[in-house]
Amino acid sequence: MQSAMFLAVQHDCGPMDGGAGSGPKSEEKREKMKRTLLKDWKNRLSYFLQNSSTPGKPKTNKKNKQQTFIKPSPEEAQLWSEAFDELLASKYGLAAFRAFLKSEFCEENIEFWLACEDFKKTKSPQKLSSKAKKIYTDFIEKEAPKEINIDFQTKTLIAQNIQEATSGCFTTAQKRVYSLMENNSYPRFLESEFYQDLCKKPQITTEPHAT
């Protein structure tokens, strides 16, 4: 099922309606595929929510050591719409955004960005070199398992830079991927039903007093 869904989604998280063909049948197929993607997206985020704790109640899982997150208040979630950096600065927001990108089959963008953030903090020249080669192998080179959508010139420059790795090896590529997420995936995340639900304040219901 997932392989079929992958073919229906553009690899750079672009609009889903760019399929070939026209007419009632092709339109019906696209609508069916959109409904399937939406269902899968909701299932993924439902699982994510179930493994998140409520505000003020941290949740630990010692058995399998999976990281869990504290669900934000509606006010905290609303801050994410003010700036993309606000979303990335929140552990829960970042995890939710990753789940969203995974549902669109372009989680390599946020994974590359996070790998670059970790890379820039590396002090040891030996570790810097090994991490640079791993990032290049995972995200940059042709047919890489998580190949990101950047131009050939930038890829060539990175290939040259990692020969003598510095903390700025991937700066240009990271900025382009950040811009792609900020201008493309981020607005769609803010429009998602999942995010809108997070921003809703819980309704307070009062039970009538017994007489």
Q: Which residue has the higher pLDDT, 190 or 19?
A: 190
- Domain with 179, as residue range(s), is 74-199
In this prediction, residue 181 carries a pLDDT of 97
Confidence (pLDDT) at 62: 46
Residue 125 lies in a domain: yes
- Asked if the structure places residue 149 within a domain, the reply is yes
Closest CA to 103 of 47, 45, 180: 45
Higher pLDDT, 106 or 48: 106
**29: helix, strand or coil:** helix
In tens, the pLDDT along 138-173 reads 999 999 999 999 999 999 999 999 999 999 999 999
Of the listed ranges 52-66, 71-85, 126-140, 157-171, the least confidently predicted one is: 52-66
For residue 163, what is the domain's CATH number? 1.10.167.10
Query: What's the mean pLDDT when you consider all of the chain?
Result: 79
Domain count, the chain: 1
- Comparing 48 with 115, the larger pLDDT belongs to 115
pTM over 0.85: no
Confidence (pLDDT) at 202: 76
Kindly tell me if the per-residue pLDDT of 125 is higher than 80: yes
Q: What is residue 5's predicted lDDT score, i.e. its pLDDT?
A: 38
Q: How far, in Å, CA of 176 to CA of 46, rounded?
A: 31
User: Is residue 27 one of the residues assigned to a domain?
Assistant: no
Greater pLDDT, 159 or 58: 159
By the 8 A CB rule, do 12 and 106 touch? yes
In this prediction, residue 131 carries a pLDDT of: 96
User: Is 13 among the domain residues?
Assistant: no
Is the pLDDT score of 196 beyond 80?
Answer: yes
In a domain, 12, yes or no: no
User: Which whole number is the average pLDDT over 49-78?
Assistant: 61
Query: Is residue 208, in this structure, part of any structural domain at all?
Result: no
The sign of the torsion formed by the CA atoms of 51, 54, 55, 60 equals negative
Residue 172 covered by a domain: yes
